Amino acid sequence: MDNRIKEVMAIVLQISESEINDKTSMKTLTHWDSINHISLITALEQEFAVRFNYNEMAAMVSYPIIRETVLKKLKPA
C-alpha cells in the first residue's frame, strides 16, 4: 500500500519515490502547490477507487496524513 501511495505522489509531484518519507509535506516541497494538490487527490482517488470529502482533501497535506486517510477509506466498514 505504501509503495502505491508513494508511486502516485512521485508521479504527480515529479519527485523520486525515495524522497517521500514521514516528513514529506506541502511545507517541505515547494512545488506541491494548490494545483498539484488537486492533481494528487484526483490521482489517489483514481488509483484506489475512493472519494475524499472536502475536509479530508484539505487535511491531506503530508505523506503520513495521506497514508492514514487512504487506509481509512480502504478499511471495510
CA distance 42 to 58: 13
* pLDDT, the chain, mean: 96
CA distance 17 to 9: 8
Share of the chain above pLDDT 90, in %: 92
Structural domains counted in the chain: 1
Query: Exposed (0-12), middle (13-18) or buried (19+): which is 8, by Cβ within 10 Å?
Result: buried
pLDDT at 59: 98
Give the tens place of pLDDT for each residue, 24-58. 999 999 999 999 999 999 999 999 999 999 999 99
* Enclosing domain of residue 45: 2-74
Share of the chain above pLDDT 70, in %: 99
Whichever domain contains 21, its CATH number is: 1.10.1200.10
Confidence grade of residue 77 (pLDDT, cut at 50, 70, 90):
low
